[in-house]
A and B are shown apart, each in its own frame.
Chain A
Amino acid sequence: MSSLRIMHVDDDDDIREVVSMSLALDPQIELKSCNSGTLALQEAAAWQPDLILMDVMMPLMDGPETLIRLRKQEPTAAIPVIFMTAKAQRHELEHFRSLGAAAVFAKPFDPLSLAESLRGCLAQLARPA
C-alpha cells in the first residue's frame, strides 16, 4: 500500500487519541492531529497532507468554516476534506456533503476499518469521472 499523509482535526482530545490509534493500524499512514480549525489551516499549508479528516462542530472555527478557508488559500485549495461528525441526521449529512466535502463519516466510526475507508475514498476521488 502507498504511503499516505492524513491530517485529523478534532477539538476532542479523546477522539483525536482513538483516531490516532485507529490509523496507526495502517503502517503506511502518517498522521498529524490538530485540535482546532485555525491550527489546521497553518499546518495543512506547511505539511501538505493527502487528505484532511475533520470534525464539524468545533469552537471558534467550525469544520465548514475551516473548509471554506482551506479552499481559499492556494496551498490547501485542492486537498480533499472528509467530515467526521456526530451531527449525523440524514439532512445534516446531506448539508455537509453539499459544502464540498469529499465524504461525510458519521460518528461513532469503526476504528478497525477507518484507514481502509479513507483509502477507498481517496481512490474514488483519483478515478477519472
Chain B
Amino acid sequence: MMFEASPDLILVTDRKGVFLRVSPSCEVILGYSPGEMLGHSGRDFLYPADLDRTRSEMRRARRGRVMRNFESRYVHRDGRVVTLAWTGIWSEAEEKHFFIGRDVTEQRTAEELFRLAVEACPAGMMMIDRGGRVVMVNGEIERLFGYHREELLARPLDTLTAAQFRGEHAQMRAECAKPQGRGKSGKTREMVAVSKDGIEFAIEIKLTPVWIRDGLLYLAVVLDISDRKRADRLKDEFVSTVSHELRTPLTSIAASLALIKGGGLAKAADGGAKLVSIAANNAQRLVRLVNDILDMEKIQSGRLVFEVSKVDVAAVAALAIEHNRTLATEYGLQVRLNAEQGELCVKADPDRLVQVITNLLSNAIKFSPRGEEVVVAIGRRVDAVRITVRDRGSGIPEEFRGRIFDRFAQADSSDARQKGGTGLGLSIVKEIVARLAGDLGFESAVGQGTLFWVDLPCWQSGDTLSERSMEEAV
C-alpha cells in the first residue's frame, strides 16, 4: 500500500542497479511508467555528470554504509533535470538495493536562485555570528575587501574596519539583538573599512538580525560609499567657495551702504563718492559672478542648448574684439586680429564661440602691461581651425598651470579681483570648447606672456545643422 501511494520514488534494484521494482510515483517524478523503467538501470536515466558519483555511492552502500540524503540528478522524459535525494540500504541476504528518493528539485532550484541573487547583488552581503565572526560572504564583499572567500570566513568583522570603528560592530549587534529589536533592522552606520592591501574606504553598513534554528546570526549589508562621499565633499567645497566668492563683493557693498546710511562717512571730502564707487563696482562684480556661475551650471548640467551652425571664425573674433574695445582702451592697449586668408569656418555655436574668445581676450587685456598689443590669430590646421590669443603679460606662474582651468582658480586672487575676474572665465571656456568637440591649451613663459589656443573642428561640406544641433541640445 505504502509502495503504491508513496509520493517519493521507491526502487528495488539488483547489484548492478537494474530496476526490479519501481513505485508508480516514477510517472510523476521522471515521466516514465514503472513498466517503461523495469529492466533498465539507473544509468539510463541519470544525468551523465552524476553517473560515476552515483556508482561509487552504491558500492559504498554494498560495503554496509547506509545511504542518507545522497543527491543525484536525473533527466525527466520532457528533458528537465530532476534532483533526487536518496536514502537506501543494501541487503546482502537478498542481494538487492532498497532506495527511497525524494524529489528536491524545487528546493534546490530555489536555493540556486537565491545563491545567484546573493552573488549578483551589487551590495556586499555577509552573515556574522554572535561573536562577530564572518560565516558567509557574497562576491561583492570579496571584491570590496580584496580577500578570497576562504580568507574571510571565521575572520572577526572588526579586522575589516579602521581602528577607530572597532568595537562599534559589537554595539550594533547588541542593539539588533535586543528583544524589542527582534526582526527589525538596526541603524545604518557609516564607517571606514580596510581592504586586504590596507586601503581605507568609506562604507555604509546595516545589520539585520536573522533568527535560525541554532540561534542568532546577523546579515550585514555593506555599501561602498567612497564615490558618494567624494561627491559630497566636492559639493561642500563648491558651496563654500561660491559662498565665499559671493560674500566678498557683498561685504564691500553692504559695508559701503551701511556707512553711507549711518552717516559714518570718512572725514575725507571724497569719502561718500568713494563708498558709492566701491558699492557700484562690487555690484557689477557680483552680477558677473552670478552670470558666470549660472552659465557654468547650465553648461555642466547639459541644459545649455548649443545652436551649432557653420561659423566664420574671423567674423566671430572681430565681434569679440569689439566687445572688448572699451576694456582695451581702459587698460591702454591695442587688440589686433590676424586671420589667414580664405574661408575659416568651424562647426560651433556662434554666441558661445564669442564667449570663448571674449573670455580669453579679456584675460589677456587685463594681464598685459599698458601700451602692449594683444593679438588674436586664426589659422588652419589639418582638420581644425586654430584660434590663438597672445598677450605680453607676466606669464602664468609654474605652480598655477595645473589648475588654471579649475573653477575659481586665480593665480593671485587680489590682482585678479581688482581686475574684475570671477575665477570662472577659463573653466567656462574649457567646458564650451569640450562641448564643441574642440581642444584647448596654452603656452606661457614667465615674464614674456601667454598664448592660449583653441582648436575647433572645420566645417565639412557634408555637415548638417540639424543633427548636430539636436545632439548638442540633448
Contact = CB atoms under 8 A, between A and B. Distances in A.
Interface of A: 11-15, 17-22, 24-25, 35-36, 57-60, 85-89, 92, 107-112
A57 B408 CA distance: 12
Nearest to A55: B248
B278 A59 contact: no
A71 to B, nearest CB: 24
11 contacts: A11-B417, A14-B252, A18-B278, A19-B255, A21-B265, A22-B255, A22-B264, A24-B267, A86-B243, A87-B243, A112-B264
A22 B259 contact: yes
Contact of A11 (B252, B267, B413): B413
A58 B258 CA distance: 25
A110 B258 contact: yes
Contacts of A19: 255
A12 B417 contact: yes
Most buried by B among A19, A35, A111: A111
B262 interface: yes
Contacts of B245: 86
Nearest to B244: A86
Contact of A18 (B252, B262, B414): B252
**Interchain residue pairs A-B with the least CB separation, the first 5:** A86-B247, A11-B414, A18-B255, A108-B254, A14-B252
Interface of B: 239-240, 243-245, 247-256, 258-259, 262, 264-267, 271, 274-275, 278, 281-282, 410-414, 417-418
Interface centre among B247, B255, B274 (most CB of A within 10 A): B255
Contacts, number: 93
Question: By DSSP majority rule, is chain B's interface helix, strand, loop, or mixed?
Answer: helix
A109 B243 contact: no
Contacts of B249: 14
B264 A59 contact: no
Contacts of B281: 14
A43 B422 CA distance: 30
A43 B278 CA distance: 26
Contacts of A87: 240, 243-244
Contact of A111 (B244, B258, B410, B417): B258
Nearest to A17: B278
Given A15-B251, A58-B413, 9 more contacts: A14-B249, A14-B252, A21-B266, A21-B274, A22-B255, A59-B414, A86-B243, A107-B250, A108-B253
A107 B247 contact: yes
Which interface residue of B240, B244, B410, B417 has the most chain A CB atoms within 10 A? Answer: B244
Contacts of B264: 21-22, 25, 111-112
A59 B251 contact: no
A22 B413 CA distance: 24
Nearest to A27: B267
A21 B275 contact: yes
Contacts of A22: 255, 259, 264
B235 to A, nearest CB: 13
A4 B410 CA distance: 35
Given A18-B252, A59-B410, A108-B251, A13 B271 contact: no
A24 B247 contact: no
Contacts of A60: 412
A57 B248 CA distance: 10
Given A35-B414, A59-B413, A87-B244, A112 B262 contact: yes
B267 A89 contact: no
A58 to B, nearest CB: 7
Nearest to B274: A17
Contacts of A110: 258
A86 B252 CA distance: 11
A89 B243 CA distance: 9
A85 B245 CA distance: 11
A63 to B, nearest CB: 12
A60 B411 CA distance: 9
Among B249, B251, B267, B411, find the residue whose CB has the most chain A CB atoms closer than 10 A.
B251
B250 A108 contact: yes
Contacts of A11: 413-414, 417
Nearest to B258: A111
Contacts of A111: 255, 258-259, 262, 264
A13 B239 CA distance: 24
A57 B413 contact: yes
B282 A88 contact: no
B251 A21 contact: no
A86 B240 CA distance: 9
B42 to A, nearest CB: 73
Contact of A88 (B243, B255, B258, B417): B243
Contacts of B255: 15, 18-19, 22, 108-109, 111
A72 B364 CA distance: 40
B246 to A, nearest CB: 8
A95 B369 CA distance: 40
Contacts of A18: 251-252, 255-256, 259, 275, 278
Contacts of B410: 59
